[in-house]
Amino acid sequence: DVKVTQSSRYLVKRTGEKVFLECVQDMDHENMFWYRQDPGLGLRLIYFSYDVKMKEKGDIPEGYSVSREKKERFSLILESASTNQTSMYLCASSSAGESSYNEQFFGPGTRLTVL
């Protein structure tokens, strides 16, 4: 089974802190994604990566950066956390293969609270 893990289920940080959210997948997937999930808004794409050291902005990249130094790991960085970044953060991965059916596999999520 595909497994996507995230470093923390719950995280509480102070305004202005630098925050790192880590995501690791074990299926050798090429594509990795970071979403934030807010009630009534569904999932919104922050950043994605289709290869090591490659990154592309999603719909809401402001205030975030990402890093992908290894294929299996994709990190989301909040340079200076703000209260409006309090949210659920979901990581996902998918294969680039034609047989992948474009399915994304999700991690359990990190609920971040910024005080």
Contact residues for another protein, defined by CB under 8 A? 4, 30-31, 33, 35, 40-45, 48, 50, 56, 58-59, 90, 94-97, 100-104, 106-109
CA triplet 4, 112, 59: central angle to 5 degrees? 75
Cα–Cα distance, 75 to 49 (Å, whole number): 10
3-state class of 23 per DSSP? strand
User: How far apart are CB 67 and another protein at their closest, in Å?
Assistant: 17
- Residue 83 or 102: which CB sits closer to another protein? 102
Cα–Cα distance, 18 to 25 (Å, whole number): 23
- Residue 72 or 106: which CB sits closer to another protein? 106
- Residue 4 or 21: which CB sits closer to another protein? 4
